[in-house]
Structure 1
């Protein structure tokens, strides 16, 4: 009789083995019957390695989204009395219907984009817990979501904040003019001008070390290592601007020189944060984090009197929309901003101002 290798997954605190662990143990037993205990153990170790790799490559914000969406799913199940560990067609359709009607904590419905994210992440959560969710059932729930979203639009109901406003050249100029002659002002100017030129997300400047930003005869090379895809991890090249006031290269080098001059040679070390937090008294508090970058961009645009305050995503949208407006090649925009070529999200960022000047039918007759 063939011995069965022990389960690699520990039982829960109550002694109950989770569904996913039970499924893994069943798989190991099948391998043992086919290939013997030693081979089954090696295959199980390979599964552990695959789990570890998946965990390593999953961005933190993706994990946060999965956790948040699972909480939305459990709240739905508590309200409706449906079991958490069932992903039937009816349950998933009921889930999207509930989200659109009343799913938020305040009793209001979610925007369809948020509901779509929660649906996808809830299905991932169910499968991680050993629940079989068929692709057909998930597709039917998504079709129901899209159909109900159309009904909301037909009824004149638009939800969500909409796309963040994109940065533009006029806004950049207003920001540069409003930055005070202080280290904070220099940092703000460099943060916005460089971020616009490589289409930064808020986590990108927060993740940069000074050694990631290198001077080149033609400008700066920014090694963006915080991207979520193979396209977004890149060496973005930022050229000197013909307008010295809006030049990201001059702004960044001036900011770093002032940081070292005012706070010591230690800040010249390549391992120090590229962008630092600075308190109201001018003291450096350490490296910026994504939330502080977002708050800084909003504060900077407000100080400059930009009509609609920018968010942490405005710089990213701005490069795509301004680049397109100025006739830049879509592939060049994608490579600079770290999008896949012909990315749907990038195309969505290439905003039309009002649909009159940038109009497919303009001038045809």
Structure 2
């Protein structure tokens, strides 16, 4: 707490009130820390380290967020900002810029909106120059899962508890368009068996959270049915690992080591690694990532003629979300072509 702020409060409200206001500020900071997602805090930490490397490299003061410093930061990131001396992709540079501004403000540095906007405009302009020069950076959009891939995954899963868990993770995740953090956050009580399928209570929203019940129906093809995969996996988990895993408070998906021992609940990173491992074992042409199931639901549903609002509701996107529209990938642009049949 800055001493000058406490002194101002004391002069205005007396010492006891100033002390209570300072304690309230500390509480507010603690609450903000508690409700900020771990991955967001991790991004802030990494981006501040990037800012510190920039300042050491250029000799600029670390706690100064002037227009020139921010624009220089952007140019440095695109030119040589990575640890190996190569430039960042514009999307990564954008993330680091935003997080570095947060870090500066948290440390009491004044950063004006105009200065930040000018740095962002510089970033966009430099990114266009990279494209014009034929340079494309970044991994691009992850490949989406598809029905053929789901079948290959189901056939490649061994007849073990690990195999059953892998199958349930992928098949259920595809049908509610999961991000890697979604299955990691589920507990057993979040998944309810219904006469027509499953109801999965998924925490939705990156900043403003709510719970949405995604409904997953029985599939016509038993081989890739998410409901059968889930019930088979959970039945086997309880049979082999004990009744305690039937408790609604236990993790919905668990990690299992090479000896068949449960290691605990899965985190987002372990879910991403599992999906890559599962898809590689199945021999899909390009290994899936933690976002492939989410992309796959949107693009597959779109190709099968599902309404965009229905896709958004199932997937927990805002209706008419730009991200969702981007995920509705069109394979070759011929079947779903806005210009087709107009003349």
What's the TM-score once normalised by structure 1's chain length? 0.89
Aligned to 1:185, what secondary structure does the other structure show?
helix
- For residues 217 and 280 of structure 2, what CA distance do their matches in structure 1 show? 27
> Is 1:293 aligned to 2:271, yes or no?
yes
Q: What is the CA-CA distance between 1:357 and the residue it aligns to?
A: 2.4
Q: After the TM superposition, which of the residue ranges 117-126 and 178-187 deviates more from structure 2?
A: 178-187
> Is 1:306 aligned to 2:284, yes or no?
yes
Match of 1:48 among 2, 22, 26: 26
- For residues 14 and 306 of structure 2, what CA distance do their matches in structure 1 show? 60
- Count of residue pairs the alignment pairs up: 343
Q: Work out whether residues 260 and 267 of structure 1, in 8 Å CA contact, stay in contact via their aligned partners in 2.
A: yes
> Is 1:360 aligned to 2:338, yes or no?
yes
- For residues 39 and 207 of structure 2, what CA distance do their matches in structure 1 show? 13
Q: Work out whether residues 324 and 330 of structure 1, in 8 Å CA contact, stay in contact via their aligned partners in 2.
A: yes
Match of 1:270 among 236, 244, 248: 248
- For residues 264 and 65 of structure 1, what CA distance do their matches in structure 2 show? 39
Q: Deviations over 1:287-340 (max 9, x none)?
A: 222222111111111111100110111111111222222222323222322222
Q: Does the C-alpha gap of structure 1 residues 233 and 96 become closer, same or farther in structure 2, counting only changes over 3 Å?
A: farther
Q: Does the C-alpha gap of structure 1 residues 250 and 230 become closer, same or farther in structure 2, counting only changes over 3 Å?
A: farther
Aligned to 2:108, what secondary structure does the other structure show?
coil
Q: Which residue of structure 1 lines up, in the alignment, with residue 162 of structure 2?
A: 184
> Is 1:235 aligned to 2:225, yes or no?
no
Q: Which residue of structure 1 lines up, in the alignment, with residue 231 of structure 2?
A: 253
Aligned to 2:86, what secondary structure does the other structure show?
coil
Q: After the TM superposition, which of the residue ranges 158-167 and 276-285 deviates more from structure 2?
A: 276-285
Match of 2:145 among 154, 164, 167: 167
Q: Which runs of 5+ in 2 are unaligned?
A: none
Q: Work out whether residues 203 and 209 of structure 2, in 8 Å CA contact, stay in contact via their aligned partners in 1.
A: no
> Is 1:202 aligned to 2:170, yes or no?
no
Q: Deviations over 1:108-165 (max 9, x none)?
A: 1000000000000000000000000000000000000000000000111000111110
- For residues 193 and 180 of structure 2, what CA distance do their matches in structure 1 show? 22
Match of 1:341 among 308, 319, 327: 319
Q: Deviations over 1:74-106 (max 9, x none)?
A: 000000000000001111000000100111011
Q: Which runs of 5+ in 1 are unaligned?
A: 1-20
Q: Which residue of structure 2 lines up, in the alignment, with residue 3 of structure 1?
A: none
- For residues 242 and 77 of structure 1, what CA distance do their matches in structure 2 show? 59
> Is 1:327 aligned to 2:280, yes or no?
no
Q: Deviations over 1:233-261 (max 9, x none)?
A: 42222122222222111110011111112
